[in-house]
Amino acid sequence: MATPPRGQLRLLTCGSVDDGKSTLIGRLLHECGAIADDTRDTLARDSRRLGTTGDAPDFALLLDGLEAEREQGITIDVAYRHFATARRSFIVADCPGHAQHTRNMATGASNAELAVILVDARRGVLAQTRLHAAICALLGIRDMVLAVNKIDLVMFDQDVFERIAADFRTFAAGLALRSLAAIPVAARSGDNLATRSPHLAWYAGPTLLGYLETVEVAEDAAAPFRLPVQWVNRPNPDFRGLSGTVAGGAVGLGDGVVIAGTAMASTVARILGPDGDVERAAVGEAVTVCLADDLDVARGDMLSAPADRPAFADQFAAHVLWMDAAALLPGRQYALRMGTAWTTASVTAIRHRMDVTTREQQAARALALNEIGFCHLATARPLAFDAYAANRRTGAFILVDRTTNQTVGCGMVAYPLHRAGNVHREAYPVDQAARAAALGQRPMVLWFTGLSGAGKSTIAKLVEQALHGAGRHTYSLDGDNLRHGLNRDLGFTAQDRVENIRRVAEVARLMADAGLIVLCSFISPFRAERQMVRDMLPEGAFVEIFVDTPLAVCAARDAKGLYAGALRGEIPNFTGISSPYEPPEAADLVLDGAGGAPEVLAARVVEVVERYQKK
Amino acid sequence: MAALAPHLRRLEAEAIHILRETVASFRNPVLLFSGGKDSTVVLHLARKAFAPGGPKLPLLHVATGWDFREVLAFRDRMAASLGARLIVHTNPDGLASGIGPLSHGSRVHMEVMATEALKQALDAHGFDAALGGARRDEERSRAKERVFSHRGPGHAWDPRGQRPELWALYNTRLGPGETMRVFPLSNWTELDVWDYIAAEDIALVKLYFAAPRPVVRRGGALILRDDARMALAPGEREETLSVRFRTMGDWPLTGAHESRAATVAEVMAELRQTGMSERHGRLIDSDQEAAMERRKREGYF
């Protein structure tokens, strides 16, 4: 029995709560015979127990996979469902409709080629409808279907349908869509899903399924060639191939290619597809390319067409959608993945927060969960990329928390920023090694972290005295002192704390570069910022010293009278009271601030310093 | 060979991408190979992904002591023909306590001999990523599974703490003690797998195809008595029927069904007509509501 050659369409459905998304998908699965008998038995049993449709099967229950969700009656994550017709197989991402799960919609949209936007014919286009359509457009979906559901509940009224369709078209005019179809349906009864409805004689267009089977969503084959190198394939000394999935355009034998951002160029000598040698590879194909020249290429590099190269920069502007409960803070370092490259990055500025529905721009100093901002980012090294509008595969990135490894944000590049290109680092003949040698010591940064009143400064002073006495060259940086000068403009919000530590870190790095042993006493409550300082310095030169004094002891000492004020609510954002402190997970040294005389604790630090100096 | 249909080409390219990503991103990845059709397809794809070299990954089979003998023989043949390193692990504690499906029931057996055993093997070899053949269409708690599915220390799966997975930008980062499960066939359906097996002419264990086999009716299922450990209950008798299996599990827990489908084409024709879902023959999934999701949280594949 021959299987007809089929294509595949990946789509997502979205709409407000109760618009009937799950019912629609469940019904499509049913119509396409994708629901097995035993599953249908389970469905019938579940429908009686959990359903909202009386004795009729509640198709929505098919979709709500996880136990907790079924009991709550809402979908909380993205579920993927499959069904097929003779012409196409479909993968549907079912995305939740409630506003706080914008991130799930973005997740579903990132891999979808088309979006089905559902509205309830009785309620029409809602704020949520517009929000979801705008998110889909932001994520690069250029083809949409407006499914006007529950048309049976408005007596199959053509005027209602036309009004809703016109309403949505007006809004969608700003979304730069390639195609938009409006289709009246009744998901529960199946009207106009797979078969034409006798109640909708006034509607001349295709059924929903008929439309999905034929709508054209192909990627642009004429786009410039891109191949992010995923893996260097070197099974033996005679073969060196660059494996990866073509992310734009196509390449053929003999074509010239360049490594983006370098002067390296070559020609394509061989292309291995899944079944061996081929002459040509196009977007979406997983291949191994051999070049005529043996170039120094690694994972994270990008092969590109010489005539139309990607941008190559370490600063760019992008839309960022934030997906984590802890806000995005400018200046904080995140891991960033773009294509096959991983690096670290920070948001240098939030140009504005965006209301995606109204496109209104608002000033913002941070991005909270589910907020979208237009941001400037800086990466630790330059990357090759395209604008997301030109290429969804090479213009997208994710941001990952470096401590928890949670995916916390995603972004779509708008354009590179070239400022970085004009500011080159100057190299000076007298370098850190020369300066350190002149001082006869190895520069290092001793970083004391802990609650206010933990004893950081007290211990640091004793350490510095001891080192100074031993002929070491030192300098102390202290939170309170710097806030009188360099950091005078900063307050105590989470954003300002991040910026405070970033500046301190830069100063400490300069002083270590000058050859000094730098003692830093800062509450520095966040792991991410302490990690940032560590990353700025050579391996081993950063010593994280956790002055671990219980909150009760610090509060009882209250040398500066701050705890009393904070507990009375007079000092907002006070670490340990109204602002969090994240203790180090792997400090180089932990000092029990309540368990020993400061002199004893200081001696332990001096010991660590002297050990490093003798290495 | 005829060119693959466009939807299979796309699924194949995606799976190869995922396989390469795993090898490029992890220190010590392993491919779970059970001898079943899905992991056989993953192995076939691994040969393509890393050509012209070998499959790059060691193979791990968690043997429960109740595997079909034919499956074990097939497994060994496949590993040998590829020159791949095959690691077979059985939970020694479970073996010593004589845990089995007939004496202890499917739940205890699966927990000790499958879930625990898998965790032991991953820990013992320090594997930080394990590739498997699970698909999202298999079962409803799988529908929300990530392609790169993060497991905390102790291999626990937290369905609410899953990382959002956008584009093909997989988050492969791990903290200390954490591991990754990777599913290259996430977006495939059972029919896609068979379509692909047909198009690529992939050899499978013969139990997938109908043949006269001695079976016993028990609990509404047709059980193939693969050895004498299963005693016949009063009134039970062995009869020879033309049967085949839709999935490969432990033989006392895997029901056969009567079938005449002896070739890939006939199997596909049967699948198109059949009304039963793939895991229907598995006696373990129906042992409790949301059984699969619970087992996955505990570390089952």
CA B149 to chain centre: 16
Third-level CATH fold of A226-304: Elongation Factor Tu (Ef-tu); domain 3 (2.40.30)
Domain boundary among B188, B219, B241: B188
CA distance B166 to A410: 8
* B238 found inside a domain: yes
For A21-53, what is each residue's pLDDT tens digit? 878 888 888 888 766 666 666 667 666 666 666
CA distance B95 to B113: 8
User: In this predicted structure, what is the pLDDT of residue A574?
Assistant: 84
Residue A308 — very low, low, confident or very high, per pLDDT cuts 50/70/90?
very high
Residue A596 — very low, low, confident or very high, per pLDDT cuts 50/70/90?
confident
CA distance A196 to A490: 65
Angle formed by the axes of helices B190-200 and B264-273, nearest 10°: 160
Per-position DSSP letters for A182-248, written without gaps between them:
EEE-BTTTTBTTTB--GGGTT--S--HHHHHHH------TTSPPEEE--EEEEEETTEEEEEEE--B
Q: What is the mean pLDDT of residues A252-258?
A: 96
User: In this predicted structure, what is the pLDDT of residue B289?
Assistant: 45
Chain B residues 264-283 with a CB less than 8 Å from chain A:
265, 268-269, 274-278, 280
* B104 found inside a domain: yes
Nearest alpha-carbon partner for A141 in A170, A117, A165, A122: A117
* B155 found inside a domain: yes
Residue A55 — very low, low, confident or very high, per pLDDT cuts 50/70/90?
low
Q: How many CB pairs under 8 A join A and B?
A: 171
Residue B37: burial class (beta carbons within 10 Å; 0-12, 13-18, 19+): buried
* B162 found inside a domain: yes
Of B143, B274, B278, nearest to A81 by CB-CB distance is B143
Q: What is the mean pLDDT of residues A327-334?
A: 93
> Which residues belong to CATH 3.40.50.300 in chain A?
7-214, 435-614
Could you name the CATH architecture of A435-614? 3-Layer(aba) Sandwich (3.40)
Residue A566 — very low, low, confident or very high, per pLDDT cuts 50/70/90?
confident
For residue A99, pLDDT beyond 60:
no
| Range of the structural domain that residue B224 is part of | 206-287
Contact B41, B78 (CB under 8 A): no
For residue A100, pLDDT beyond 60:
no
Domain A7-214 in CATH 3.40.50.720: no
Q: Does the beta-carbon distance from B12 to A397 stay under 8 Å?
A: no
B169 touches chain A (CB under 8 A): yes
Q: What is the mean pLDDT of residues A442-466?
A: 92
A contacts of B275 (beta carbons < 8 Å) = 36-38
Residue A218 — very low, low, confident or very high, per pLDDT cuts 50/70/90?
confident
Query: Residue A436 has which token pair?
Result: 């350190």
For residue A154, pLDDT beyond 80:
yes
* B84 found inside a domain: yes
CA B245 to chain centre: 13
Reported as half-sphere exposure (CB side, CA atoms, 13 A), residue B132 has a value of 21
B153 touches chain A (CB under 8 A): no
Q: Does the beta-carbon distance from B167 to A110 stay under 8 Å?
A: yes
* B1 found inside a domain: no
Instruction: Using DSSP, state whether A494 is helix, strand or coil.
Output: helix
B71 phi, psi to nearest 5 deg? -70, -40
Angle at CA of residue B5, ends B82 and B192, nearest 5°: 65
Reported as half-sphere exposure (CB side, CA atoms, 13 A), residue A433 has a value of 2
User: In this predicted structure, what is the pLDDT of residue A274?
Assistant: 96
Q: Does the beta-carbon distance from B169 to A338 stay under 8 Å?
A: yes
Task: For residues B27 and B166, state if they share a domain.
Answer: yes
Task: For residues B79 and B166, state if they share a domain.
Answer: yes
Query: Residue A452 has which token pair?
Result: 């206010």
The per-residue pLDDT of chain A, averaged, comes to 87
User: In this predicted structure, what is the pLDDT of residue A576?
Assistant: 81
A contacts of B197 (beta carbons < 8 Å) = none
Residue A3 — very low, low, confident or very high, per pLDDT cuts 50/70/90?
very low
A130 phi, psi to nearest 5 deg? -65, -40
Contact A394, A247 (CB under 8 A): yes
B254 phi, psi to nearest 5 deg? -120, 115
The per-residue pLDDT of chain B, averaged, comes to 89
Q: What is the mean pLDDT of residues A545-568?
A: 86
For B56-83, what is each residue's pLDDT tens digit? 799 999 999 999 999 999 999 999 998 8
Task: Compute the nearest-CA separation of A251 from chain B (Å).
Answer: 16
Nearest alpha-carbon partner for A515 in A606, A608, A437: A437
Residue A528 — very low, low, confident or very high, per pLDDT cuts 50/70/90?
confident
Q: Mutation target for A interface from B8, B147, B167: give the one with most A CBs within 10 A.
A: B167
Domain boundary among B131, B155, B188: B188
CA distance A448 to A465: 16
B52 touches chain A (CB under 8 A): yes
Residue of A nearest to B2 (CA): A5
Strand partners, B256: B222
Angle at CA of residue A19, ends A16 and A21, nearest 5°: 95
Task: For residues B113 and B173, state if they share a domain.
Answer: yes
Active-site annotation holder among A16, A266, A521, A524 = A524
Percent of chain A at pLDDT exceeding 90: 55
Percent of chain B at pLDDT exceeding 70: 90
CA distance A133 to A115: 8
User: In this predicted structure, what is the pLDDT of residue A66?
Assistant: 43
- Strands A360-362 and A280-282 come out as unpaired
Q: What is the ipTM of this complex?
A: 0.91
Task: Compute the nearest-CA separation of A244 from chain B (Å).
Answer: 7
Domain boundary among B188, B221, B248: B188
Residue A105 — very low, low, confident or very high, per pLDDT cuts 50/70/90?
confident
Task: For residues B169 and B244, state if they share a domain.
Answer: no
Q: Does the beta-carbon distance from B7 to A8 stay under 8 Å?
A: yes
Task: For residues B143 and B266, state if they share a domain.
Answer: no
For A188-215, what is each residue's pLDDT tens digit? 889 999 999 999 999 999 999 999 999 9
Contact partners, residue A317, CB within 8 Å, separation at least 6: A351, A374, A375, A376, A377, A413, A414, A415, A416, A417
For the ranges A55-69, A169-183, A371-385, B201-215, the lowest mean pLDDT is seen at A55-69
Task: For residues B88 and B116, state if they share a domain.
Answer: yes
CA distance A397 to B168: 10
Instruction: Using DSSP, state whether B290 is helix, strand or coil.
Output: coil
Task: For residues B32 and B104, state if they share a domain.
Answer: yes
User: In this predicted structure, what is the pLDDT of residue A494?
Assistant: 78
Report the first-to-last Cα separation within chain A, whole angstroms.
74
* B301 found inside a domain: no
Residue A585 — very low, low, confident or very high, per pLDDT cuts 50/70/90?
confident
For A337-358, what is each residue's pLDDT tens digit? 999 999 999 999 999 998 877 8
B contacts of A286 (beta carbons < 8 Å) = 12-14, 16-17, 20, 49
Q: What is the mean pLDDT of residues B133-153?
A: 86
For B183-207, what is each residue's pLDDT tens digit? 999 999 999 999 999 999 999 999 9
For residue B288, pLDDT beyond 60:
no
For residue A562, pLDDT beyond 80:
yes
Residue B301 — very low, low, confident or very high, per pLDDT cuts 50/70/90?
low
Is there a catalytic annotation at residue A22?
no
Q: Does the beta-carbon distance from A80 to B171 stay under 8 Å?
A: no
Contact A15, A52 (CB under 8 A): no
> Which residues belong to CATH 2.40.30.10 in chain A?
226-304, 311-418
B174 touches chain A (CB under 8 A): yes
Task: Report the domain count for chain B.
Answer: 2
Angle at CA of residue A540, ends A537 and A541, nearest 5°: 50
Candidates 2.40.30.10, 3.30.70.240, 3.40.50.1000, 3.40.50.980; CATH matching A311-418:
2.40.30.10
* B87 found inside a domain: yes
For A256-304, what is each residue's pLDDT tens digit? 999 998 889 999 999 999 999 999 999 999 999 999 999 999 999 999 9
- Beta strand extents in chain B (DSSP E only): 29-32, 59-62, 86-89, 129-131, 148-151, 179-182, 211-218, 221-224, 239-244, 257-258
Of B24, B163, B198, nearest to A407 by CB-CB distance is B163
Query: Residue B134 has which token pair?
Result: 């699970």
Q: The domain spanning residue B87 has which CATH number?
A: 3.40.50.620
User: In this predicted structure, what is the pLDDT of residue B250?
Assistant: 92
For residue A73, pLDDT beyond 50:
no
For residue A314, pLDDT beyond 80:
yes
